[in-house]
Amino acid sequence: MKKHFLLSSISLVTILLSISCSMSKDSSANQKTCQQPTNIILMIGDGMSTPQVYAAMLTSENPTSFERFPFTGLAKTYSKSHKITDSAAGGTAIATGHKTNNGMIGMDSDSIPVPSVLEILSEKGMKTGVIATSYITHATPASFVAKNINRNNYEEIAMNFAKSNKVDLLIGGGRKHFNQRQDGVNLIEQMVSEGWNYYDTLINIKESDKTMILASEGHLPSYPSRGNFLPDATVLALEKLSGSENGFFLMIEGSQIDFAAHNCDSTYLVNELHDFDNTINKVLDFAEKDGNTLVIVTADHETGGLTMIDTNGRYTETFFKFSTGSHSPLMVPVFAFGPGSENFTGIMENTDIVKKIYQLLECNHN
Ligand code: MG
Ligand code: ZN
């Protein structure tokens, strides 16, 4: 029964894709929507809505990476179960195109597993990678690889990562969920015996098919304590994945923007934003040179209810103020660069992002 539902939802997507593609084929006005990218890079700033983006601009000496994007839109973030999403439902919406209940990873609100963009593009022959500065098993990266009814089942999620034949490169933290497990299984040893290359630091990486780098037992340290881990991991991943014949899909998360905002810590927040901004610049440098890479930067939700208040009543000084230690329901920005980027404008659902990616990848096949 469950399988039947899964299959019918996939074929529905396929039907919708072919309808929209044949429509755009018939209309010359819509031909722009058929610019097909070879590579897709999806970047998620966890907890990063427009107040956070503007906080990065206000505290940056140079123009930020965000200002390099030719197209921008806004995405609604509410989940199936709540007005305010968590990172599990938010990540799942972005990764799979399905709104689901808060707490759920890679499944729809009926607990039926749904394929992620990473999995679908892997099946098309593209190489895939996931980078985070949190546990790699944390909600956002997990949404692209794992299926679980509860985001806190970290050891089950680690097992999903170990068993996935769809992901080629993993870089992040959360080593303890792989090798200090309640079931006593050492997933790292198991993965290595099955052909994975494993490293506990960013250096020493060699050319190979499947590579996992777990650089920390738990989350990575905050920026700047972790150094340039995120931009360096990104450059390394781009070098590794860009050799792929059929293109690649890479998800990069600025995981700790959310952590900083939960802590109502504006110094931590600004540091994390600058680290993510620096990473986006590396990605855009690659995409500019490559010419066939679509880059999307968005967020799963806003964290902190961040606002900038007038501190002296004369509009001359601003102060970052958190109105909550929780998430808020704000829309989040969608920044797009590269072939097909003109499709990511206006107000959309968070589930539309991946649907637009599928449309772009299907069009030229007709
Ligand atoms: Mg996250
Ligand atoms: Zn959060």
pLDDT in tens, 128-156: 999 999 999 999 999 999 999 999 999 99
Residue 363: predicted pLDDT: 75
Helical packing angle, 266-290 and 229-241, nearest 10°: 20
Q: Is residue 24 situated within a structural domain?
A: no
**Total number of residues shown for the chain:** 366
Give 74-100 pLDDT, tens digit per residue: 999 999 999 999 999 999 999 999 999
Q: Is residue 238 situated within a structural domain?
A: yes
| Number of compact structural domains in the chain | 1
Q: How far is the CA of 185 from the centre of ligand 2 (A)?
A: 30
* Rounded distance between C-alpha atoms, residue 136 and residue 216, angstroms: 10
92: closest CA among 118, 72, 67, 74?
118
Q: How far is the CA of 85 from the centre of ligand 1 (A)?
A: 12
Q: Is 345 left (phi over 0), alpha (psi -120 to 50) or beta?
A: beta
- Listed as ranges, residues in the chain with pLDDT below 70 are 1-33, 204-208, 364-366
Residue 319 sits at φ, ψ, to 5 deg, of -135, 135
Residue 17: predicted pLDDT: 45
Q: How far is the CA of 258 from the centre of ligand 1 (A)?
A: 7
Q: How far is the CA of 2 from the centre of ligand 2 (A)?
A: 31
In this structure, which ligand is nearest to the CA of 301? 2
Residue 206: predicted pLDDT: 65
Residue 207: predicted pLDDT: 65
Q: Give the tokens for residue 14.
A: 């396929």
Written as one string, the DSSP assignment of 254-308 is ETHHHHHHHTT-HHHHHHHHHHHHHHHHHHHHHHHHHSSEEEEEE-S-EES-EEE
Written as one string, the DSSP assignment of 55-112 is HHHHT-SS--GGGG-SEEEEEE---SS-SS--HHHHHHHHHHS----TT-BSB-TTS-
| Beta-strand relationship, 293-298 and 332-337 | antiparallel
User: Where in the sequence is the domain holding 269, given as residue range(s)?
Assistant: 46-291+299-365
Q: Is residue 22 situated within a structural domain?
A: no
Instruction: Check if the beta carbon of residue 195 is closer than 8 Å to that of residue 154.
Output: no
* Rounded distance between C-alpha atoms, residue 137 and residue 142, angstroms: 5
Question: Rounded to a whole number, what is the distance in angstroms from the first to the last CA of the chain?
Answer: 32
Give the amino acid at 24: S
Q: How far is the CA of 260 from the centre of ligand 1 (A)?
A: 12
Residue 364: predicted pLDDT: 60
Catalogue the long-range contacts made by 80-83 (C-beta closer than 8 Å, 24 or more residues apart).
80/108, 80/109, 81/109, 83/329
Residue 19: predicted pLDDT: 39
Residue 35: predicted pLDDT: 83
Q: How far is the CA of 269 from the centre of ligand 1 (A)?
A: 14
Q: Is residue 205 situated within a structural domain?
A: yes
Q: How far is the CA of 66 from the centre of ligand 2 (A)?
A: 22
Q: What is the mean pLDDT of the chain?
A: 91
Q: Is residue 16 situated within a structural domain?
A: no
* Rounded distance between C-alpha atoms, residue 357 and residue 296, angstroms: 10
Residue 18 sits at φ, ψ, to 5 deg, of -70, -30
Q: Residue 207 maps to which CATH number? A: 3.40.720.10
Instruction: Check if the beta carbon of residue 39 is closer than 8 Å to that of residue 294.
Output: yes
Q: How far is the CA of 256 from the centre of ligand 1 (A)?
A: 7
Q: Is 283 left (phi over 0), alpha (psi -120 to 50) or beta?
A: alpha
Residue 14: predicted pLDDT: 45
Residue 362: predicted pLDDT: 87
In this structure, which ligand is nearest to the CA of 263? 2
Q: How far is the CA of 258 from the centre of ligand 2 (A)?
A: 5
Q: Is residue 8 situated within a structural domain?
A: no
Calculate the CA dihedral of residues 280, 284, 285, 286 and round it to 10 degrees: 110
Q: Is residue 328 situated within a structural domain?
A: yes
Q: Which string of b and e fits 272-308 if b means at least 16 CB within 10 Å?
A: bbbbbbbbbbbbbebbeebeebbbbbbbbbbbbbbee
Q: Give the tokens for residue 101.
A: 């209940």
Q: Is residue 1 situated within a structural domain?
A: no
